[in-house]
Chains A and B, each alone.
Chain A
């Protein structure tokens, strides 16, 4: 009996060993095909996924979500009102829903829309869609964007009709607008510039559509090429988009590249912080651009200012009444110095410096006044998820006091801004913060 049991145990043991060996062999064989060349169909699938991923990246670089998604609504389903001086426009549904979205669009029709500003049915797009910038996008990138948009979940949501005033509700007028302000054509690299500069130019002038805000818009809703990136008020938002070509404004000619990269990607830098509409751009779009692309944009932006033709500005402190200066100084010491420092040096990048800050001293005081009245938080980004913020002072400082403190920071510590009036503060106080 004992021998029989031992024999049985041995047989079972051997069987177990054989089974183990077979299992190991099976898995080794099963893994073997991985070392072979992938089949053509899986290659195609990979390429498709890569295209979609690239399209998603480009959609972020183009900030499509900002206009084509209603706050709290489904992504890309449209419906967000775009207030313009000509009436309200409603961004359309760009999810691939067959009836209400772009589900039936072909890749060629999508490219024609991006490149020429012509919709699928042949109607002309209103230039609130930045096709004057998107025309620079390459066919390859347009196709990737299309692939990505076709891959998102379709949402059935009918487009809202635009509410444009007469005569702007007549799309035929757009023919005139296009003759004046639209130049069709993909980006052409400048062979005299580096590849990095060209990549930056492509992103800034194309998908980034920076000119939509940073180039002044005239009474016809057009922006002239000769004034490119020279700054202007953003219609209906009442923030001033500073010039990118003047070092007196947001020109970055004197900024180290890393500060520009930080401002674009993080929303903050040691020289200044983004708030308002620019914070939105950073939050929705620029925080996702790669280090390489952010640097390329920085290189291009830094090169934009074409030297200083204007004489360097001098102190305007003499224009501020001594009593106003004293009111401003007191209000500053009591309310602002804790974060921005007695000498206006701030605690960068958490609390921005005010001394030598171009956005404080530039000709338009709108943004400084709005910040004092409404405060603001920098955007929470991948590289700066917990931004510092500034509280509103609209309920603490009256018009005269707010004007005095803004005048003070615009002329103190060698700053070269001009004083502001209580009336200017009062105008901005009437607007809703946004």
Chain B
């Protein structure tokens, strides 16, 4: 069952990851992707307003961020694709840090590294603060079923943490409503399972890093693959609170020091 679910997820994202996946992964996935495409009889280029370029004024920030819409949605709401994250409403400084990381290569994801390679700080700030101000509704939740025991374990990790493993809860830094905290902690609501698993795994392997002290590295390296799957599954099930704004800076003593909060 679990294997099937993973395969299904991989098929869903196989088109997206075509740009980044290794040749080997592609070779394995190609037949599956073809089947999925055949099954979905609608042509792939069918207009989806949320990911189709659209703007009113050429000289506007909306027009300038058209380079982002096919992956992140027209207001950063995220799309049905599990790998591309929702960016709307995340703290401006968090988004700016990620953009700078992609530009300078400290965060590695070739499609993003390429897109922002030659953009100056001021402009990245403008993009970040525009997305930080957006409050679009969450896109419909993907229809993925998880075992109740997995969700239960995920909930425990997210809400209370695991003292034995030295794991603080997600809520203790990402906020009671999981909408993040200014200036550097991102919201987790509305972010998909695949993306969450991907990021926690990258942190665990050292591929993704944050300024020292790198709290997420300390957390992810204490987590098993099963725990990463469980907490991601539970987080991906959460519905939007009425206010999607991140908590103000220093709104609570964090259980672990984070370089990105300084």
Residues of chain B lying within 8 A (CB to CB) of residue A433: 19, 110-111, 113-115
Produce 1/0 per residue, A279-300, CB < 8 A to B: 1101100000000000000000
Given contacts A335-B45, A394-B18, contact A388 B118 (CB under 8 A): no
Distance to closest chain A CB from B108 (angstroms): 11
Instruction: Assess whether A48 is interfacial by the CB under 8 Å rule.
Output: no
Residues of chain B lying within 8 A (CB to CB) of residue A397: 44-45
Distance to closest chain A CB from B95 (angstroms): 16
Residues of chain A lying within 8 A (CB to CB) of residue B3: none
Q: A356 vs B19: C-alpha distance in the bound complex, in angstroms?
A: 29
Distance to closest chain B CB from A277 (angstroms): 10
Instruction: Assess whether A219 is interfacial by the CB under 8 Å rule.
Output: no
Q: A392 vs B17: C-alpha distance in the bound complex, in angstroms?
A: 12
Instruction: Assess whether A398 is interfacial by the CB under 8 Å rule.
Output: yes
The secondary-structure label for the interface of chain A is loop
Distance to closest chain A CB from B184 (angstroms): 19
Residues of chain B lying within 8 A (CB to CB) of residue A395: 15-16, 18-19, 70-71, 81
Given contacts A334-B45, A396-B44, contact A351 B67 (CB under 8 A): no
Instruction: Assess whether A331 is interfacial by the CB under 8 Å rule.
Output: yes
Residues of chain A lying within 8 A (CB to CB) of residue B16: 394-395
Instruction: Assess whether B241 is interfacial by the CB under 8 Å rule.
Output: no
Instruction: Assess whether A422 is interfacial by the CB under 8 Å rule.
Output: no
Residues of chain A lying within 8 A (CB to CB) of residue B26: 430
Given contacts A334-B52, A380-B123, A395-B18, contact A279 B70 (CB under 8 A): no
Produce 1/0 per residue, B58-71, CB < 8 A to A: 11000111111111
Q: Are A434 and B120 in touch, CB under 8 angstroms?
A: no
Q: Are A391 and B64 in touch, CB under 8 angstroms?
A: no
Q: Are A334 and B47 in touch, CB under 8 angstroms?
A: yes
Q: A392 vs B113: C-alpha distance in the bound complex, in angstroms?
A: 13
Instruction: Assess whether A222 is interfacial by the CB under 8 Å rule.
Output: no
Instruction: Assess whether B106 is interfacial by the CB under 8 Å rule.
Output: yes
Instruction: Assess whether B105 is interfacial by the CB under 8 Å rule.
Output: yes
Residues of chain A lying within 8 A (CB to CB) of residue B55: 338
Q: A430 vs B30: C-alpha distance in the bound complex, in angstroms?
A: 12
Instruction: Assess whether A389 is interfacial by the CB under 8 Å rule.
Output: yes
Q: Are B117 and A280 in touch, CB under 8 angstroms?
A: yes
Instruction: Assess whether A83 is interfacial by the CB under 8 Å rule.
Output: no
Distance to closest chain A CB from B19 (angstroms): 5
Residues of chain A lying within 8 A (CB to CB) of residue B15: 394-396, 398
Instruction: Assess whether B249 is interfacial by the CB under 8 Å rule.
Output: no
Residues of chain B lying within 8 A (CB to CB) of residue A331: 45
Interface residues of A, Cβ cutoff 8 Å to B: 71-72, 267, 279-280, 282-283, 330-331, 334-336, 338-339, 347, 350-351, 373-380, 385-398, 401, 429-430, 432-434
Apart from A334-B47, A433-B114, what are 10 other A-B pairs with CB-CB below 8 Å? A336-B53, A347-B58, A385-B123, A389-B66, A391-B68, A391-B69, A391-B70, A395-B18, A396-B70, A433-B111
